[in-house]
Every structure is written in C-alpha cells, then in structure tokens.
C-alpha cells in the first residue's frame, strides 16, 4: 500500500492537477478564467456571462530549444488593481481613465519560468508574456507564438488579408467560414507584390460581430522590439492563432530575458459605439516618455501631393532614366515639364493655405532621387537634403514663414531603412535649420535589406528609432506604410500620425467603396490616428488629370464628415486650391473644424454601415458633428443631448442634397443654419456614399433672429 501511494505521488508530480484563477473587470462586465490543464496554460473570456473567447491555449514554439507550450505548473498568481486618470498630449478627449484589475500568473516548466499578465478592463482584455531573467532561458529565438483566440461561432468579420508587405487593402465583410474562399479576390484590391502568409490569414485590428450581437475586436498594443502579429484562422473550429511576421531567415523574433511581448487585446461590447470610444490600446502603453511636449502641436495642412497621386504632375524633375547622387548635374538636365514641387506652384499653395488659416504645407518630390527609384535596386537613392534646382528651399521657407505657414518635410525612404538611418541626423538638422517641425516619411517598396518585411522585428525597431531620433530634434513624425499603430503615440506623442491603411490616394488608383470609411475607425484607428488625407471636392479625376479615369466614391459632404469620424491630430485638406475655390461655402467647414479635442461622443455606429460622431474642440465650447454611410442611403435621427444644458447654439448643417449620389451626382449639397440646444432633434438624410457635417457655436445676440434648425 505504501509503495502504491509513492507511485501515485510521483504521477501527481509528472501530471499536476488543473489549477484555475478567475478575474473580473472593475464593473463586473468581463470575467477572465485562467487554468493549467494537463500542463497547458489556457484562458477564456466572458462578457455579461456570455462567452466571448472559449478556452484558448497560450505559449511559444522556440527554435533549437524545447517549446513553451505544455508541461507547465502554476507556481503563483498575483492580483492587483489600478485606477488613474491621465492627460494625453493630444487626443479625442482631454483626459483618459485607466482602470483595470490585474492577474499575473507565474508558470514553471522544467526550470524555465514564464509569466502571463492579464489586465481586465470593462471594455476588454490585454494579455502579454513576460520572461524574467533566468539561467535556463536567456537568449532565444521564436519559431512561432501560439496565442489562441477561440471564437464561439461563425461571426461576421471585417477583414483585410494577412500580408507582410502592406495594409492597403479594401475591407471585405464576410462570415469567418468564407475567408478562405474570398481571400484571393481580397488580395487583388491592393496589387501587393507579396502573397498572403496562409490561405486563411488576416490582419489586426480585426473587427467581428457575433450573431447574438456582440462586437469583438482583436489587436495588439505596445509593439516594441517584436514582430507584428497576424491571425491564422482554423475555419472548422473558428480558432485564431497568432502568426508573427518573419525576418529574412524565417525566424519570428530574437529575444533576450528579461523582456516582455506586446499585449494581445480583445475588446468586446454589445454596443458598437463602445468599440469606437475604447481607450484600451492606449492604456496598455507606457506613459509619455518626454518631459517637455510643448513642441508637439496638432496641425491642419495642405500640400503638393494630390496632383502627383492623380498623375496631374510628377515627383521627378527630369525624364532621365537614371541619376547618381552627387554626380548628376541637375542644373544641366532638361526638366520634364511636369514637376509639381516647383517654386511657383509651391508658393501658390502657400498663398491659399495662409489665406484660409492653415498651419502647414506638405511638399512631396522636392528632393533629388525620384527618377532612379522605380527599379528599387539600390539603397542610396535619396539623401534627404539635396533639392531639385526648381525648389529653392531657403526662399520657400522664408516665404512661408512670412505668411505664418510652415513647410512640412517629406522623406520617402524607398524602404531602404539602412540608408535612411545613415542620413537621418543630417536630414533632421536640415529641418531644424529651415524651421520644419513635422516630417511625412514613407516606406514604399520591398524592404532593404532584402528579405526583411515591413512588419518584422527589424523594421518595427527602425520605425521607433526614427520617432525617438526625431524627438531629439523636436520633430513630429507622420509615418506612411509603417506597421499599423499599436498605441505607441501615448508614449511617444511626436508620432502624430500614420497612414498604415488604404487611404484616400486609392481613390485615384481605381477607387474604394464607400463602406471602407465606416470600418476603418473600428479597425485601423484602434491603435492610433490615421493620416487619411480627406477633403476631396472634385470627384471626377479625369477633369484635371487627363488619362486618369478614376472617380472618388464619396459625396462632397461625406468628405467633410471624415474630419470628424476619422480622428487625427494631423488633418490634410488634400484637394487642389482651385477645386476648393468652386465650393468656398462648403470649404468653410474644413477651415472651421478643429484637430484636437476635449470631448468625443459616438452617437451612432454599425461597422460597415454608418458612423456618427460629435467632438468638442480643445479649449473651446464649439462642437463638430460628422456622419458617414456606406453604399446605402439612410436617414439618421440625431439628438443634441451632448450639448451643455441651458445653452443655445448656432448649428450649420452641410448635407447631401436630395439628388446627391456618390456615383452620379457627388458634388450636390445644401447648407442651412439654425438654433439648437440639448433638447433638439434633427433628421438628416445621407445619400449613397454620402454624409453630413455640422458645426456648432454658442449663440451671440445677433443670432436671436435665426429660426430653430429642423
């Protein structure tokens, strides 16, 4: 009998009993369950007692080392709570509450230790892995991270294909079970040179809706020194598994303890508006790293950009097939006659921007190298300091400053990260010399060094290096084609914008369907603001760019609404001055709308269908409202109960005219004004692909004659 008991005791050591820990969110909306079953760590999540994530495995496969998938025992579990209110440097609201309950479980596997930390908010979950300093796990290489998200059914998903090169896809709306079938067609909406990583792979942020009305969002936060996460779907069981972006050798990450991974996030609510209002991603990032942020200022800008995107003009100065930095004498080269960044054209845009109260003017194609970039065979195309002969950098900056305008720098790196890092200090010093305070950087093309990917560990480290280096020179960064944001703008608020999704430029490359802008705030904007470049007023591009037959799939009022629904502290009026001059009454909204906010309210929302948002300008009592719809016309019932009670406002409504339609009559609109207060109600019709915008200011004595807005 004694021998039998010793055998049973030995078996218990080899096969430990399951351990379970339960954590609830501060308001008891979400419940997390963690257990170690047969040595496998798992978690599950419920919302209001409804399953959101079924039991899902955690762990890693390592290269040339035993995996961290099973064989674990639960050594300890520590709990804590946290509640603070912090002030962002810029943002959708003046303050943000960071309130969570935390569970940190310490797991041991044959002398190796892994900590899994869970933070549970009322709007979602964050989990990350932590590797403490330890003798049996110091330097290691990931073969793959194996975090699972087991869904409860065949949800409706709003997705773009998994890809290592680009996020610039149009969103597909389908059931999870349809992704495999629809993925080849979805890939064609970008024209990317790199194929998908799997037949069922999608990118984060992934928005879903269950049949019983739960809105679920999967993403990541605080992506630092680690590859970007994609999601592989088992479309038989509806289980997502993490899929990290590989490096040039196929490895998924090189780590050294002590270290932590990014947070894996699950947002959930039964109200779509809660997803848009969530600060989960920002809260999971570290506080601001800078003591002085006075130099970081939101801005509204125009640019010499849309004319190149549409083909009206060119980035390149000459038609030479090849140039050599420091060797080609551009003063002796024959201009191609289409170069957009010439002195007179830039001055024309500066004049218009200054007259109408803008802050900055972006100029692309100002610097030598664009002729030789197409082949992308060299890593020394640009030096970021040498202007073309028809761009007088000193004269133009003096001219702009006299008019109260700053020029915005443009650094297209051609994805040569090493070359950009070699020239970065010199390029930023040039910006300081001429008073540039912001740079738009670009990463178009396959990454150099060859084999690296836009979303791998190498490039993620580069993007953050560029932001930190820019901060040394008090420069704000607007990075295009970089990794989709994961909230790092909280820690490094000079990262004032990103593209990292399919923006307005694709309207000049064949078009994007109207539903796209009703999805982006649920997906791409979860991690940070987007430089979407809205404000197009001339929808038929062929009227000013011969040979381009594309049309912008939006009404003019839809374009106005984007300044409210697509949050960014860096907003562009992207069209040409002459197009705004035709519709100056509508252009007034772009002039008036703020770029930084004290309060934001989402009044109505359904992903893929419509969004209505209201925002109060920073330090002012003015409110702005925007609404967008998809390919379906609809009427929105708008309540003004977000306004201060007892106060009256003048509302100016910019709305689609009755005959407006994104396909047949996009530039038809009506403007009317009237008095409103917190008790007011208004029905607003939106055309197909349309929208509306409203500016609200407190009434003055002379406004008493105005009728109430109905």
Catalytic residues: 505
The strands making up 60-62's β-sheet, listed across from edge to edge, are 60-62, 139-145, 254-256
CA distance to 148, 553, 560, 609, per residue, from 563 (Å): 36, 17, 6, 18
d(CA 203, CA 190): 14
Indicate if the alpha-carbon torsion angle 283, 287, 290, 294 is positive or negative: positive
Of the candidates 548, 552, 463, the residue with the CA atom closest to the CA atom of residue 511: 552
Of the candidates 330, 335, 339, 331, the residue with the CA atom closest to the CA atom of residue 304: 339
CA distance to 385, 493, 562, 632, per residue, from 490 (Å): 30, 6, 23, 36
Contact 242, 261 (CB under 8 A): no
Token pair in block for residue 148: 């699972």
Contact 698, 675 (CB under 8 A): no
Token pair in block for residue 6: 């010793």
- Name all contacts of 575-584 with Cβ < 8 Å and 24+ positions apart: 575/306, 575/535, 575/536, 575/537, 575/538, 576/306, 576/307, 576/538, 576/544, 577/302, 577/348, 577/349, 577/352, 579/536, 579/537, 579/538, 579/544, 580/352, 580/537, 582/537, 582/538, 583/537, 583/556, 583/667
Query: From the CB of residue 661, how many other CB atoms can be counted at a distance below 10 Å?
Result: 16
The strands making up 476-479's β-sheet, listed across from edge to edge, are 495-498, 476-479, 438-442, 406-412, 360-363, 299-304, 570-572
> Checking DSSP bridges between strand 299-304 and strand 570-572, what pairing results, if any?
parallel
């Amino acid at each position: 009998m004694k021998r039998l008991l010793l055998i049973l005791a030995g078996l218990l050591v080899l096969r430990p009993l399951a351990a379970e820990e339960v954590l609830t969110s501060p308001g008891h909306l979400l419940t997390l369950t963690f257990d170690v079953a047969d040595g496998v760590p798992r978690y599950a999540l419920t919302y209001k007692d409804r399953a959101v994530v079924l039991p899902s495995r955690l762990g890693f496969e390592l290269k040339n080392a035993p995996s961290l998938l099973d064989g674990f025992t639960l050594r300890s579990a520590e709990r804590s709570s946290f509640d603070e209110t912090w002030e962002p440097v810029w943002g959708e609201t003046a303050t943000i509450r960071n309130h969570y309950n935390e569970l940190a479980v310490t797991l041991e596997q044959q002398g190796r230790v892994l900590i899994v930390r869970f933070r549970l908010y009322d709007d979602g979950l964050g989990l990350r892995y932590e590797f403490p300093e330890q003798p049996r796990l110091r330097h290691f290489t990931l073969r793959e991270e194996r975090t699972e998200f087991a869904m409860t059914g065949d949800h409706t998903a709003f997705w773009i294909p998994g890809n290592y090169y680009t996020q610039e896809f149009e969103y597909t709306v389908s059931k999870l079970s349809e992704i495999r079938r629809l993925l080849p067609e979805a890939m064609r909406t970008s024209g990317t040179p790199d194929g998908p990583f799997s037949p069922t792979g999608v990118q984060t942020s992934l928005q879903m809706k269950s049949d019983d009305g739960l809105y679920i969002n999967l993403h990541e936060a605080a992506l630092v020194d680690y590859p970007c996460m994609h999601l592989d779907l088992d479309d038989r069981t509806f289980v997502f598994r993490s899929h990290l972006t590989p490096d040039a050798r196929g490895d998924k990450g090189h780590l050294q303890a002590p270290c932590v991974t990014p947070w894996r996030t699950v947002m959930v609510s039964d109200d779509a508006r809660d997803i848009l209002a969530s600060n989960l991603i920002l809260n999971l990032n570290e506080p601001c790293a800078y003591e002085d942020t006075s130099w970081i200022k939101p801005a509204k800008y125009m640019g010499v950009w849309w004319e190149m995107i549409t083909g009206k003009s060119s980035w390149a100065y000459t038609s030479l097939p090849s140039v050599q930095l420091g060797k080609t004498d551009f003063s002796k080269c024959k201009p191609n006659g289409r170069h957009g960044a010439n002195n007179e054209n830039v001055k024309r845009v500066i004049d218009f921007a200054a007259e109408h109260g803008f802050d900055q003017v972006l100029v692309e194609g100002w610097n030598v190298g664009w002729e030789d970039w197409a082949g992308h065979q060299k890593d020394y195309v640009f030096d970021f300091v040498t202007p073309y002969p028809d761009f007088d950098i000193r004269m133009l900056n003096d001219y702009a400053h006299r008019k109260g305008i700053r020029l915005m720098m443009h650094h297209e790196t051609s994805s040569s990260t090493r070359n950009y890092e070699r020239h970065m200090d010199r390029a930023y010093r040039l910006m300081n010399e001429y008073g540039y305070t912001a740079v738009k950087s670009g990463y178009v093309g396959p990454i150099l060094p060859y084999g690296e990917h836009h979303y791998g560990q190498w490039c993620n480290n580069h993007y953050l290096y560029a932001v930190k280096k820019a901060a040394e020179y008090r420069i704000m960064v607007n990075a295009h084609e970089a990794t989709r944001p994961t909230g790092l703008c909280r820690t490094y608020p000079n990262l004032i914008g990103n593209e990292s999704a399919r923006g307005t430029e694709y309207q000049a490359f064949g078009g994007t369907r109207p539903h796209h802008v009703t999805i982006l705030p649920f997906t791409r904007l979860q991690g940070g603001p987007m430089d979407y470049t809205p404000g197009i007023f001339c929808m038929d591009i062929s009227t000013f760019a011969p040979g381009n037959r594309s049309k912008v799939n939006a009404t003019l009022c839809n374009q106005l609404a984007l300044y409210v629904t697509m949050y960014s502290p860096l907003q562009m009026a992207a069209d040409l001055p002459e197009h705004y001059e035709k519709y100056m009454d509508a252009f007034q909204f772009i002039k008036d709308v703020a770029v930084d906010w004290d309060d934001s309210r989402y009044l109505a929302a359904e992903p893929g269908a419509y969004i209505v948002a209201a925002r109060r300008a920073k330090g002012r009592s003015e409110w702005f409202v925007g609404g967008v719809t998809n390919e379906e016309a609809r009427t929105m019932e708008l309540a003004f109960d977000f306004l201060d009670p007892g106060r009256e406002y003048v509302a100016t409504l910019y709305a689609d005219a009755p005959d407006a339609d994104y396909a047949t009559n996009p530039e038809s609109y009506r403007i009317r004004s009237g008095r409103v207060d917190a008790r007011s109600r208004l029905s607003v019709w939106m055309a197909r692909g349309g929208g509306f915008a409203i500016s609200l200011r407190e009434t003055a004595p002379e406004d008493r004659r105005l009728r109430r807005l109905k």
